[in-house]
Structure 1
Amino acid sequence: MMLEIGLVAALLFVGLLGSSVWIGLSLFATGYILLSVFKPNIPMDIFAGKVIWGSVTALELLSLPLFILMSEILVSARLGRSLFSGLAPWVGRLPGGLLHVNVAGSTLFAAVSGSSAATTAIVGRVTLPELAAHGYDRRLAMGSLAGAGTLGFLIPPSIIMIIYGVVAEQSILELFVAGVVPGFCLAVLYMAYIAAHQTITRSQPQIDRPTWSDRLMALKQIGPLVGLIAGIMGSLYLGLASPTELAAVGVLGALIIAILMRRFSLSAMISAGRRAVRTSAMIGLIIMGAALLNAAFGFLGIPKAIAEQIAAFGLSPMALIAVLLVFYVIIGMFLDGTSIIVMTLPITLPLVTAAGYDPIWFGVFVVVAVEISQITPPIGFNLFVIQSQTGESIGAIARAAIPFFFILLAFALLLALVPQIALWLPGTMQ
């Protein structure tokens, strides 16, 4: 019976997506139809209303639209140009040269963005033309941007981590802190690969040696952003504010930065607000649809049946994590990160906790797995962002991102072998 229900659910969902129905509505319709057919005695209107209301009224979700608004304000302030001008004198003479601006810029913007696509767009809008003008390898420039842009999901404040925390009923503050060390470790791995590649191929263009005066002047460009990041990170670690309070302060900080950089205008702020509303509404629709689908799965016993089937295989904890990683990479080729989180957690989280893994650690692991989906075709959002900026084919950009795909894959396995990479910093808060 479970096989038939699962097949019906898969066909319904794929059919709706193939008909260009929005993901959130496809999730909702699939759950509604499953319950109507297999549990006809449930009063669907009342039940669906309660499930939907409960899914979007969690207090922790208040931070989500605020962090999105903060990111959009900084985008309106044309932050990308300041990032390049501020970072270039500091990294230009390193092995890999200005290519490191892709990674360092993405790391900084990720710390105030929470979005992978936004990080890729704002950094790439400036760095790709500049790197091309300086004669850097176009393939490596695109690949490093695709990989580094994924840091927007891992380094706090992360929109995906907020959603994971609400669905998994875990502390968003702890999740944010747990993402700090893995995020910076991943950035270092990216920069190490770029340096090694340029050293081995000897393809790094020569640029003028910046003076210390140039470097100090460059700090003025990134100083306000670094100050905002320091405030957010410090408040997180010291527990001075809840995620919602932190998001409100972040919006205020973004407004102050826009004013200090003389890039504040009423029209730009209105445009930023509209974009934030659209993004928040899209995520909210996905959360509501997935909540009903997950409730339907729960009533029909699908998560329990799947868990029992997997348990029957007798997998070791490490083998289970490897299987889940492959599962997330495959499903990430066809769904966005928000949908992946809210659809799969009711099934995968009980399996992982039963195997002895910490749910906070699993949150970081899942985010890294979702990061991989950002650079894998056909639905790798970072690939589409870079395509819109370069005009290259998705295939060419995906090939350029292959080394960073394997770095992410290896890092996910490293997290499984050494969970303290994610758990050490939250542990120091206790």
Structure 2
Amino acid sequence: MQSTVKKIEVNYNPINEQNTFTNGDVVCGEVRLEVAKTCEVDFLYIKFKGKAEVLWTERHGNTTHTYHSKDKYFSVRQYFVQDKNLKHGKQIQLTNQSSETYSNVLPPGIHVYRFSFQFPHQNIPPSFKGAHGKIVYLLEARLSRSLRMDKTESTKLSFVPRPDLSPASGVMTPQHESKDKKMNIFTSGTVAMDVQLEKSGFCQGEQLKVLAFIKNDSSREIKPKYCIYTKHSFFARGKRRLHCKDLIKEVGAPIAPCTSQNVTQVITIPREMEPSIMNCSIIKVEYRLRVYLDVKYASDPEIKFNIFILPAFGVPAAASAPPAAAGFGYEPFGNLTPPVWGVSSPPPPFAPQPSDPPPPYGAYGMYPPLNDFNNTF
């Protein structure tokens, strides 16, 4: 037996080659509904929402514990056919271009319902998918008919926020650290290193420059090594699930015994590397740079730096909303304010700022600490 509702689709119009959206961008699209024969609809709407969610299980003895948490950022609906069960004022009905309301009785054929929504300007995290959690932004259409199961269809949007370059973010803060170690047993003497970064935040595709002065007063050759690794943290019910992974490993030229050398290592941040996430209460994505000296038959002295990975893309101007969207604001979770169509404008596109010249080596402790990270990995 042929189904009355043959297909329901949600489509949107990409605004750039990367098919991404950022703060203030307008998402325009349409819901396409195909029915095989005349039918009556109780309600039809499109929902635009953003949320974070984590989920994992742990086995303790004979009991399995489930850890689950959600964080909602916004949710708004646009109705094409009103829900009669909702109280007056709790919904909005769209009209077509001729200002006639959409009928709840649909003849056979394809019916197209256009919509538009705007991403909030507020500070919300980027799209993300990890081992035990995700941050998603999606469009979801729902069709309801009497004595029938509701039909839903959804599509995800890729959201990349504008980088925060404010002084409070710490991304332009230089970093500096020193380390020395006395060798023993199979290796004699001492090794020392003085390492600095010109800043703390690096865009996808950017080069990270590590400046170091290394003094090898030991009896063996040493090699400087570099590792960038990530830490994914998921939080629920007072518990944390942690995943760490090495992403980039590089080795510098060896340094002979009883010599000192200035060393510069340039590490390219991959363009596909996920941005740091520090503004989500249940998911965090953090990065560290580990610089260490490989000494045979001895424990390796090391220095760790917290670094930020920032999104790098050409931020398009926010599209203006079509007339059909006028008056559709947000029903926020928190303190989001409704957008004013055609009035609000996004902040200027991100452009990396030139960093100040690096200070001389040996100025240990001259830089302010970074307070945005947990210093224990």
Give me the TM-score of the superposition, normalised by structure 2. 0.24
Which protein shows a greater Rg? 2
Which structure has more helix as a fraction of its residues?
Answer: 1
**As a proportion of its length, which structure holds more strand?**
2
Q: Name which structure has the greater RCO, CA cutoff 8 Å, separation 6+.
A: 1
Task: Give the alignment's TM-score, normalised by structure 1.
Answer: 0.22
